[in-house]
Amino acid sequence: MSPDLATRADSRSSHITPRDHGRILRLGDDLAARLSRAIGSTGRVHSVFARAINVEWADGRLLTLHGPGPLRAPFAAAVERVALLRAPRPDAPVIVEPGRLRLPGLVLTWDEAAPIGCAIPAPPPGLDRAVVDTLRHHGTGRATGLDSPRGVAARAALAGAIGSGDAARLVEAASGLLGLGEGLTPAGDDCLVGALAVLHAIGHPALVRPPTPAAAIARAAAERTTAVGREFVVHALAGRFSEPMLTLLRARAPLEAAEAARRLAGLGATSGMDTLAGLRLACLAAA
């Protein structure tokens, strides 16, 4: 059983009365595997938004539930109706049962959900020319935090680290970006995730050559950014990304890549643009 989902259901579960039922339509394959290993564990509703909720497990890791459509995070599950997500309140218990999640007033079944591959496959598939060309035209807009002197320096450090192929420099540069800037997922985290996507896709030596920097960056993320930002970074270190990001990375034609970049840019307030900024930075630095 996965230790992160292994906490036993506590006594609060006996007070949960299901009122509404819904289906999870799609979820990341890694998340599906984790849920399967975690029957009986309990989490809590961490945060509630207009169209999504986050669930936090005992180890601080997150699951995002949002409405139908592409998975906006590798740790996300898409439910059939966004209205289902209006019932849960912060701190409400969430219990993993066979084939379903149980929340106060809500049961979500996941046994028929389609598992979505959110990982960049091995060996690294590389990036099509269409994607590289598209990134030349996108990713120049970004949150103001990334244009602050610290943001500029952190981006320059990341570009330098990628250019050098030095894992230690990559850790240092990542630390400079973590938690930097606007947003619940700070802009620096988004930028770093974008850069990591490129590094995974091309199998960049700074990321894959032992000793790899993943553990050190994950430790820095635990200390330096928000819970949501950390979750994105930890998954990115493992090569797992949102569907809009993967759609862009997999594009093989200019129109397809441009459309994917536009969709990615539209995520969040500046998150999509900040992610594109990271993709572009890594593309240029690696070249």
Partner 1 sequence: MAQATVVKRGAYHDSVALLRLARALRTRPGVREAAVVMGTPANRDLLADAGLLTEEARAASSNDLVVVIEAETAAGAAAAASAAEPLLARGGRDTARGARSRPRTLAGAARRTPDANLALISVPGRFAAAEAHTALTAGLNVMLFSDNVSLRDEIALKHRAIDGGLLLMGPDCGTAYVAGVPLGFANAVPRGDVGIVAASGTGLQQVACLLAARGRGVSHAIGVGGRDMSAEVGGLMTLAGLDLVGADAATALIVVIGKPPAPEVGERIRAKLAAIGKPAVACLLGRDAAVGTRGPVTTVATLEDAATATDARLAGTPWQPRPFTLAGVDARIAVARRGLTPAQSKVLGLYAGGTLAHESRLILESLLGPVGSNLASSSAGGEPDGDREHQILDLGADEFTVGRAHPMLDPTVRVERIARAAGRPDLAVLLLDVVLGHGAADDPAGDVAPAIEAARSTARAHRRELAVVASVVGTAADPQGLAAQTARLEAAGAWVLPSNAQAARAAAAIAGPEAVRATLRTGGTA
Residues at the site binding partner 1, with contacts judged by CB under 8 A: 46-50, 54, 69, 136-141, 143, 145, 148-150, 176-186, 188, 223-229, 255, 259, 262-263, 265-266, 268-273
Work out the number of other CB atoms within 10 angstroms of the CB of residue 153: 12
Q: How far is the CB of 160 from partner 1 (least distance, A)?
A: 17
Q: How far is the CB of 33 from partner 1 (least distance, A)?
A: 27
Closest to partner 1 by CB, 3 vs 266, is 266
Closest to partner 1 by CB, 120 vs 225, is 225
Q: How far is the CB of 144 from partner 1 (least distance, A)?
A: 8
Closest to partner 1 by CB, 77 vs 120, is 77
Q: How far is the CB of 106 from partner 1 (least distance, A)?
A: 19
Q: How far is the CB of 39 from partner 1 (least distance, A)?
A: 28
3-class SS letters over the chain? CCHHHCCECCHHHHHCCCCEEEEEEEEEHHHHHHHHCCCCEEEEEEEECCCEEEEECCCCCEEEEECCCCCCCCCEEEECCHHHHHCCCCCCEEEEECCEEEECCEEEECCCCEEECCECCCCCCCCCHHHHHHHHHCCCCCCHHHHCHHHHHHHHHHHHHHHHCCHHHHHHHHHHHCCCCCCCCCHHHHHHHHHHHHHHHHCCHHHHCCCCCHHHHHHHHHHHCCHHHHHHHHHHHCCECCHHHHHHHHCCCHHHHHHHHHHHHCCCCCHHHHHHHHHHHHHHHHC
Closest to partner 1 by CB, 172 vs 182, is 182
Amino acid in position 114: A
Work out the number of other CB atoms within 10 angstroms of the CB of residue 36: 17
Closest by Cα among 56, 74, 52, 75 to 65: 52
Q: How far is the CB of 52 from partner 1 (least distance, A)?
A: 8
Measured CA to CA, the distance from residue 157 to residue 173 in angstroms comes to 5
Closest to partner 1 by CB, 38 vs 228, is 228
Closest to partner 1 by CB, 40 vs 163, is 163
Q: How far is the CB of 103 from partner 1 (least distance, A)?
A: 17
Closest to partner 1 by CB, 88 vs 183, is 183
Q: How far is the CB of 128 from partner 1 (least distance, A)?
A: 17
Closest to partner 1 by CB, 107 vs 276, is 276
